[in-house]
């Protein structure tokens, strides 16, 4: 369920935001995506993503906020990730905008 304050990222295991999807609410920093608060793992699964209207999201190919990265501004999406990131994301940070 997305945060009602608009600070979230929608992640998907298929291009075009299809397949299995999950909302990750922020603000949050995930050093590795294997043990998220809601019990699922998105380690090496993300192939597309959308930032909520109050969220800035940065995803990295390596754990610990290292390696190739992608930043999404509020209310934007990446329906197809680059070959270096698609199915390879290991860490994620979600920052919230002041309302």
- 36-84 per-position pLDDT tens digit: 878 889 999 999 999 999 999 999 999 999 999 999 999 999 999 999 9
* Percentage of residues in the chain having pLDDT higher than 70: 99
CATH code: domain 8-96 is: 2.60.20.10
Element (H, E) at 84: none
> What per-residue confidence (pLDDT) applies to 51?
98
Distances (CA, A) of 62 to 16, 75, 76, 88, 98: 23, 24, 22, 8, 29
User: Does the structure show a pLDDT above 70 at 94?
Assistant: yes
- The Cα 50–Cα 33 span in angstroms is 17
Any idea where the domains of the chain sit in the sequence? 8-96
User: Does the structure show a pLDDT above 90 at 98?
Assistant: no
Backbone angles phi, psi at 72, to 5 degrees: -110, 130
Instruction: Please provide the average confidence, as pLDDT, over all residues in the chain.
Output: 95
Backbone angles phi, psi at 41, to 5 degrees: -120, 130
Q: Residue 27, preceding bond cis, omega within 30 degrees?
A: yes
User: Does the structure show a pLDDT above 80 at 9?
Assistant: yes
Backbone angles phi, psi at 16, to 5 degrees: 70, 20
Q: How large is the average pLDDT for residues 6-31?
A: 96
Residue 56's closest CA among 33, 26, 12? 26
């Amino acid at each position: 369920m997305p945060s009602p304050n608009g600070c979230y990222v929608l992640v998907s295991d298929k291009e075009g935001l299809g397949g299995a999807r999950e909302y990750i609410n922020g603000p949050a920093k995930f050093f590795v995506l294997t043990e998220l608060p809601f019990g699922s793992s998105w380690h090496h699964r993300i192939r597309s993503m959308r930032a909520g209207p109050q969220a800035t999201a940065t995803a990295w190919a390596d754990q610990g906020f290292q390696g190739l990265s992608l930043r999404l501004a509020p209310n934007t999406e990446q329906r197809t990730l680059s070959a270096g990131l698609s199915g390879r994301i290991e860490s994620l940070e979600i920052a919230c905008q002041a309302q």
